[in-house]
Amino acid sequence: MSDMRLRFDKAEVLDDAAARHVRVTVSFAGETFAAAAASDGDAMSDLKAAAVATLSAVEGAVGHRFTARLADLDHVNALGKELVAVLVDIAFEAKEVQVFGSCQIAGAEMDAAVKAALNATNRFVDLSMRA
């Protein structure tokens, strides 16, 4: 049986003369999915681009059974811990909901942004694969 858990593989900043992008790669059910999003080049823009790219990769991984759009992202201190928190708008089975995801910053902030986006969408990945 294939591994049905969505896994974060990597996030990387791609700079060229024309633009700056963040590319995120995830694995799901034995396949790899990558997506990129534009960044304005500052640290917060890179975090938002990482989350946007993650949500796009997640949509691809589940065959576009739902859509996920980043509503907001912030670097927060909660209960003495540094976190990246996201709000994501999800459209699934003719319903629209807003979900929250977070990840403690233990290493790279960009990795935490990706994991926060994954945290927000995990429930819908599971639901969409059952549908």
Distance CA 26, CA 86 (A): 18
Q: What is the pLDDT of residue 3?
A: 57
Q: What is the pLDDT of residue 61?
A: 92
Higher-scoring residue by pLDDT: 113, 123? 113
Q: Where are the domains of the chain?
A: 7-130
Q: What is the pLDDT of residue 128?
A: 80
pLDDT tens across 53-104, in order? Answer: 999 999 999 999 999 999 999 999 988 999 999 999 999 988 999 999 999 9
For residues 94-119, average pLDDT: 95
Q: pTM of the prediction?
A: 0.92
Contact 102, 116 (CB under 8 A): yes
Instruction: Tell which phi-psi region holds residue 22, choosing left (phi > 0), alpha (psi between -120 and 50) or beta.
Output: beta
Return the CATH number of the domain spanning residue range 7-130: 3.30.160.270
CA R_g for the chain: 14
